[in-house]
A and B are shown apart, each in its own frame.
Chain A
Amino acid sequence: MEGSRLNRLRTWKLLLPLAVGVVAISAVSATSLAARSARSATPIKIAIMTDCKGAFGGATEVDIGGAQAAFAQFAGGKPVNPKKPSAGMTGITISGRPVKIVGYGCGNDTVPLAISETKRLMEQLGADIMVGPLSGDEAVTVAHYAQSHPKKTFVIGTAGSQDPTLQIAPKNLFRYHGDGAQWNAGIGEIAYKKLHWRKAAIIMDDYSFGWTSAAGMIADFCGVGGKIVKRVFPPLNTTDYSSYVQQLPPPSKVDGYFWVVGGTGTGASLKAYEQAFGKVSPKKFIGNLFFAFLGNFQEVAPRLIGAYVGGFGTGPGLNTKQAKGYEAIVAKWYPGLNGGNYADGFVYNYYNAAWALIRGLKAVHGDISGGQAKLQAHMPRTNRSGYQVSNNGLVKLDSNRQAIQDQYPLQITKGPGGKPGLAITGWVPNVDQSFGGFFTKNSPPPGRSQPPCVKHKFPWTGKIHAVKNGVITKQIIK
């Protein structure tokens, strides 16, 4: 009898703390939920999604800095630490309503982390709007997420896959910069006309941005009569490219190579080429944006002086008032961001995304009620982006809320002191995502074998202007 009472006592000794724990967790959760719903009435919550791991992990501060420079310039934000954008920003208000950056997403260019980070930002931290993500597959994932969350608004940070705005195209998703194909418009024609390439091989990262970026080069090069004789596709985040480079035809069999290997893979893949075929020849290599941006420049440019680069929709050294104005704004709030290279799309695209969002929020006086329908309807259809020249300097959005923007093919040059520099070599005005109807909603999205290599006249074919010393000339590249 005494024993059983003692047993019961011991049981309660264990269960009591458990019960107290459960009640405490429940109470904390309930309080947190109640507090959250009470708060949601006041500030507008914005999340910035970028990559802090993986091939593009080095762009975190650059992306956040780009977006927050716009919040500082146009919405009264104050950087907590101008040398470390991710330290945060205070004092953002739009039409008298406070804006809070509730969190920074940390992706790694893969789909699973993109979705879990998006959920964390939008559902746990309760963000109303997202600026981001970075990278192609992540944008595809976020586009699908946006499709099933029509009451939230998404402005892509910097991502070059085609699908988010052409094939998926949810109404609450906006992109104020070009996709990977647009960023390579004109480069195929330059290869054909200036380097006299007729047969080329292409190596491309095996994911949506790699495919889209390659699609721009293939379409443009084949459009003027070139032939792609081999397509090789190493998986993203490959570190040893030897076996993939071995699949490429040797330099004696082709006129050149289009190189669409990004992030940390750019240098590694070129090294594998050198081991297989010897020294790289700048006249035989054209890279996409990764030859020039995201920290690759210092590594790959010294051996590629003279090589052409597709570009990033930006004009490094473009001598216009609008371009200088943009660069001055970023330099004002985050001096030295990205080593002072503000013409990097990782800064520029996030900046424009945030700026367009601020303009949209101002247009509705910070009113995001009604499932943000009003905000989505008033998101700007034009943006005075720094490097835009056409349309009096206005980037326009198409009916899928995708930017139609100018494109600048680049060239790696020898700068002062023998250091490599970047020069704009051409101006391709008003490049739209469909390439003048070549890509459509119903055409297969870019892939390993898409698009096919066919001759086609694009709106800019034969109309690319030469750019000299940062000034657009009337001379057409021939």
Chain B
Amino acid sequence: MRSLGTFQSRKQATERTAAGTMLVLLAIWPLVFSSNSYWVGYILTQTFAVGIAAASLIFLSAYGGMVSLAQVALYGICGLVLGNLVTSGQAKGLHLGWSPWLAVAAAVGITTAIALLFGAIASRSAGIYFLMITLTFGVIANTFFGSVTTFGGFSGIAGIDTYTPGLVGNHVTQPARLYYIAFTVAIIVYLLIRYIVRTPFGIALQGVRDEPVRMRSLGYNVPLHRTLAFGLAGFMASLAGVLYAWSIGVVAPGTLDLASTVDLLVIAVIGGLARIEGAWLGAFVFFAIQTYVRNVSVPVLGGSFNTIIGFIFLAIVIISPNGLMGLWDMITRYAFGDRGGGSSEPFRELRRIVSDAWFRLKGGAPTRTQSRSETL
């Protein structure tokens, strides 16, 4: 009988090898393929940037037990603040013409402060109420920036990509620069989250997630932990906002509308709400589908990106509630023979997945609600 420890170490080794391979591939991508390709300039750069925002959502969900719908609002706020501060001349909004780095620092600082404020307000609620409060933050941000023309109004701020620091350069002629910056920031955010969740604060946050009443009785300030976690997630989302603004060049209230809020949630769910890595995997799948499946026609329903991404979302929720990373966990369990002492026959594993999905569709409990790896 194989020990769970051996399974875990093998799984970790496999994941590290796979992650290393992916990182090397992504690091050499612009060098091997054309750095001017749409993949470098849009799909992968957006994957890194929006993946950071999704990672901030997953961080709050997986380690704080808070599913936030305000992350899109936060990265949109950061982009709009940056646009107002950095642009000059004919641009709409304040167009203050600040130096790019100063504007970035101010935009990130302001967004983090707003996130702390949002967090302080929402920290005493949980579950569906937390979801609704954060959704309200998103709607307020969208309405505010859409209505206050001083900050750009419905049209937003355009031309931000021409006010980048020298390091970023011109995204049109040198897309690889922003690609590598976004890639690096994504790695830093990932490592930061991994680090935070191992600190006393991170461990206490997980305690708050699982047993808030007990943590309070042990003397922990539960709202403060939640507020700080929200602030941290807001900081991460603001970095996504800066990268988004540099990459796309335009930030408008539409960037932080309800549809975009849902899009980020879809990204996080497709990737998997239980593991940080899922953020970038979900973002990649989302942008790849958005780009390449647009003209595919679904019989009877017609063809559109929303139809197809909707089907994928449904399939993920039914078959693997932990998203693609959950599927990966299933695959590794099969590959390494860890099925809770069961057989390694692939058909049995497939039967279990189908059976779980069927139970979920009927509203009952799956045969096994959580894998061991998820609980560890």
Query: Interface residues, chain A, CB within 8 Å of chain B?
Result: 7, 10-11, 13-15, 18-19, 22, 26, 29-30, 33, 106, 110-113, 115-116, 119-120, 123-124, 137, 140-141, 144-145, 147-149, 163, 167-168, 206-208, 235-236, 445, 447-448
User: Does B180 have its Cβ within 8 Å of any Cβ on chain A?
Assistant: no
Contacts of A18 in B (CB 8 A): 18, 21
With the chains together, A385 CA to B184 CA distance in Å?
53
User: Does B39 have its Cβ within 8 Å of any Cβ on chain A?
Assistant: yes
Interface positions, chain B 46-93, Cβ under 8 Å from A, are 90, 92
- Given A106-B294, A148-B161, A167-B90, 9 new contacts (CB under 8 A): A10-B335, A10-B336, A11-B17, A19-B21, A26-B25, A116-B290, A120-B291, A137-B156, A206-B149
* Cβ of B288 to closest chain A Cβ, rounded Å: 10
Check A123/B41 contact, CB under 8 A, given A33-B34, A137-B155, A168-B90.
Answer: yes
Beta-carbon contact of B21 and A147 below 8 Å: no
10 A-B residue contacts at CB 8 Å? A7-B6, A11-B335, A111-B250, A111-B255, A112-B252, A115-B250, A123-B41, A124-B291, A206-B153, A207-B153
Check A148/B155 contact, CB under 8 A, given A30-B33, A110-B252.
Answer: no
| Complex partner residue of A14 from B14, B92, B146, CB under 8 angstroms | B14
Contacts of B254 in A (CB 8 A): 110-113
Beta-carbon contact of A137 and B33 below 8 Å: no
- Which chain B residue has the least Cβ–Cβ distance from A163? B90
Contacts of B257 in A (CB 8 A): 110
Contacts of A140 in B (CB 8 A): 155, 158
Check A33/B249 contact, CB under 8 A, given A10-B10, A167-B90, A207-B155.
Answer: no
Beta-carbon contact of A111 and B331 below 8 Å: no
* Cβ of A157 to closest chain B Cβ, rounded Å: 18
Query: Interface residues, chain B, CB within 8 Å of chain A?
Result: 6, 10, 13-14, 17-18, 21-22, 25, 32-34, 37-39, 41-42, 90, 92, 146-147, 149, 153-156, 158-159, 161-162, 170, 172, 248-250, 252, 254-255, 257, 260, 290-291, 294, 331-332, 335-337
Contacts of B162 in A (CB 8 A): 147-148
| Complex partner residue of B33 from A29, A111, A145, CB under 8 angstroms | A29
Beta-carbon contact of B155 and A111 below 8 Å: yes
Contacts of A448 in B (CB 8 A): 149
Contacts of A22 in B (CB 8 A): 21-22, 25
Beta-carbon contact of B38 and A124 below 8 Å: yes
Beta-carbon contact of A13 and B335 below 8 Å: yes
Contacts of A13 in B (CB 8 A): 335
With the chains together, A30 CA to B31 CA distance in Å?
12
Interface centre among B21, B154, B335 (most CB of A within 10 A): B154
- Which chain B residue has the least Cβ–Cβ distance from A207? B154
Contacts of B147 in A (CB 8 A): 206, 235
* Cβ of B75 to closest chain A Cβ, rounded Å: 12
Contacts of B25 in A (CB 8 A): 22, 26
- Which chain B residue has the least Cβ–Cβ distance from A168? B90
Interface centre among A33, A115, A445 (most CB of B within 10 A): A115
With the chains together, A11 CA to B172 CA distance in Å?
41
With the chains together, A248 CA to B270 CA distance in Å?
47
With the chains together, A237 CA to B116 CA distance in Å?
32
| Complex partner residue of A7 from B10, B38, B153, B170, CB under 8 angstroms | B10
Contacts of A29 in B (CB 8 A): 33, 37, 39
| Complex partner residue of A144 from B41, B250, B290, CB under 8 angstroms | B250
With the chains together, A207 CA to B294 CA distance in Å?
28
- Which chain A residue has the least Cβ–Cβ distance from B10? A7
Contacts of B18 in A (CB 8 A): 15, 18
Beta-carbon contact of B154 and A11 below 8 Å: no
Contacts of A149 in B (CB 8 A): 172
With the chains together, A207 CA to B290 CA distance in Å?
27
Beta-carbon contact of A148 and B154 below 8 Å: no
Beta-carbon contact of B155 and A115 below 8 Å: no
Q: Which 5 A-B pairs have the closest CB atoms?
A: A110-B254, A111-B252, A144-B158, A124-B38, A207-B154
Beta-carbon contact of B90 and A137 below 8 Å: no
With the chains together, A14 CA to B11 CA distance in Å?
10
With the chains together, A110 CA to B336 CA distance in Å?
49
- Which chain A residue has the least Cβ–Cβ distance from B158? A144
* Cβ of A412 to closest chain B Cβ, rounded Å: 29
* Cβ of A4 to closest chain B Cβ, rounded Å: 10
Check A112/B260 contact, CB under 8 A, given A13-B335, A29-B39, A168-B90.
Answer: yes
* Cβ of A14 to closest chain B Cβ, rounded Å: 4
Beta-carbon contact of B33 and A11 below 8 Å: no
* Cβ of B77 to closest chain A Cβ, rounded Å: 15
Beta-carbon contact of B42 and A119 below 8 Å: yes
With the chains together, A269 CA to B244 CA distance in Å?
35
Beta-carbon contact of A15 and B158 below 8 Å: no
* Cβ of A266 to closest chain B Cβ, rounded Å: 18
With the chains together, A29 CA to B39 CA distance in Å?
9
Contacts of B13 in A (CB 8 A): 11
With the chains together, A359 CA to B327 CA distance in Å?
55
With the chains together, A116 CA to B260 CA distance in Å?
13
Beta-carbon contact of B248 and A115 below 8 Å: yes
Contacts of B22 in A (CB 8 A): 22
Contacts of B42 in A (CB 8 A): 119, 123-124
Check A144/B249 contact, CB under 8 A, given A26-B25, A123-B42, A167-B90.
Answer: yes
Contacts of A120 in B (CB 8 A): 291, 294
- Which chain B residue has the least Cβ–Cβ distance from A148? B172
Contacts of A141 in B (CB 8 A): 158, 250
- Which chain B residue has the least Cβ–Cβ distance from A104? B295
Contacts of B6 in A (CB 8 A): 7
With the chains together, A51 CA to B294 CA distance in Å?
15
Contacts of A106 in B (CB 8 A): 294
Check A208/B161 contact, CB under 8 A, given A22-B25, A120-B291.
Answer: no
Contacts of B337 in A (CB 8 A): 10
Contacts of B294 in A (CB 8 A): 106, 120
With the chains together, A113 CA to B250 CA distance in Å?
10
With the chains together, A145 CA to B13 CA distance in Å?
45
Beta-carbon contact of A145 and B249 below 8 Å: yes
Interface centre among A33, A124, A163 (most CB of B within 10 A): A124
Interface centre among A13, A148, A167 (most CB of B within 10 A): A148
Interface centre among A15, A110, A111, A447 (most CB of B within 10 A): A111
Contacts of B291 in A (CB 8 A): 120, 124
With the chains together, A13 CA to B18 CA distance in Å?
12
With the chains together, A116 CA to B255 CA distance in Å?
11
* Cβ of B284 to closest chain A Cβ, rounded Å: 11
Contacts of A30 in B (CB 8 A): 32-33
| Complex partner residue of B14 from A15, A33, A137, A147, CB under 8 angstroms | A15
Contacts of A113 in B (CB 8 A): 254
With the chains together, A13 CA to B332 CA distance in Å?
10
Check A11/B21 contact, CB under 8 A, given A110-B254, A111-B156, A111-B158.
Answer: no
Contacts of B332 in A (CB 8 A): 14
With the chains together, A79 CA to B18 CA distance in Å?
49
Beta-carbon contact of A112 and B335 below 8 Å: no
With the chains together, A148 CA to B248 CA distance in Å?
12
Contacts of B249 in A (CB 8 A): 115, 144-145, 148
Contacts of A124 in B (CB 8 A): 38, 42, 291
- Which chain B residue has the least Cβ–Cβ distance from A236? B154
Beta-carbon contact of B10 and A137 below 8 Å: no
Contacts of B149 in A (CB 8 A): 206, 447-448
Beta-carbon contact of A33 and B37 below 8 Å: yes
With the chains together, A123 CA to B147 CA distance in Å?
32
